[in-house]
Amino acid sequence: MDRGRRREDRSCAGKEGDADFRDHFEHPGDEFVHVVDGEIEVELQTPSGPRLERLGPGDSLIYPGGVPHRWRAPGDRDRDRVRILAVQNAPGTDHQHPADPSPR
């Protein structure tokens, strides 16, 4: 694997009807997200304001590094499994959550 890219296969679940997102993530590298199963919503903080993207199986999204973003899985937690592939291009850095300054 190229050291400048980080690939993650993630599973996540959301609570049905839960309109709340968690805190924003922000990192220097571009990120590519592909939904394998289920459905996610990605909120991007753009210069013109928040932008919400709804993604289902086969959908992909890429956004530049430095863009604050957060995800949620709006489906039924007990029924709907979500699988995504996320690839981050961030040479020499790790993805960090703003509330946790230690690299992961």
Instruction: Quote the pLDDT of residue 41.
Output: 93
Residue 74 pLDDT: 83
Q: Give the per-residue pLDDT at 96.
A: 55
Q: If the chain, 104 residues long, is cut into consecutive pieces of 10 residues, what is the mean pLDDT of each piece?
A: 50 44 87 92 94 96 94 75 83 55 50
Give yes or no for a contact between 12 and 84, defined as CB atoms under 8 angstroms apart: yes
pLDDT of res. 18: 40
Contact in structure between 75 and 39 (CB atoms under 8 Å): yes
**Which backbone phi and psi does 31 adopt, to 5 degrees?**
-135, 135
Range 32-41 burial, b when 16+ CB lie within 10 A, else e: ebbbeebbbb
